[in-house]
Amino acid sequence: MANTFPFSLVTPERTLLKGDATMVILRTGGGDIAFMAGHAPFIGSIEPCVMTVTLADGATSRAAVHAGFVHVANSVVRVLADIAELPDDIDVERARRAKSRAEEKLINSNDASAEAALRRAHARLELAGVRDSIK
């Protein structure tokens, strides 16, 4: 199909998603971006987010992506992530505890690592379908 393109989500440990897609949406340093067939060459850093992939058959896959890069060239979209998780990988209680710890730390300081931990916790909870994940 002309409206599809090869896509992969890869971490150092494994390939989480791979196949033909019609659209990939994720967050880079410049904000949310959607990639479709024929997208211009691109490379960018990924912010913690829930990435959505619409597959060629119309199904949608989602993953929490915490850091890494997206690379688009020759009509191929590659997401190279330091850490990425599928919905079944999420431990909701652990994510809630991480969110609480990060929020407490941010009350008393402007700590970049706590801000990053909070963004990761929000992405995990959003992927898990926890509605009260963002305050």
Amino acid 113: pLDDT? 86
Residues 5, 21 contacting (CB under 8 angstroms): yes
Q: Which among 48, 39, 117, 126 is positioned nearest to 78, based on CA atoms?
A: 39
Please provide the distance, in angstroms rounded to a whole number, between the alpha carbons at the two ends of the chain: 42
pLDDT (tens digit per residue) in 57-82: 999 999 999 989 999 999 999 999 99
pLDDT for the residue 132: 61
Distance (Å, rounded) from C-alpha 133 to C-alpha 113? 19
Which residues of the chain fall below pLDDT 50? 1, 134-135
Whether this prediction's pTM lies above 0.75 is answered by yes
Strand partners, 18: 8
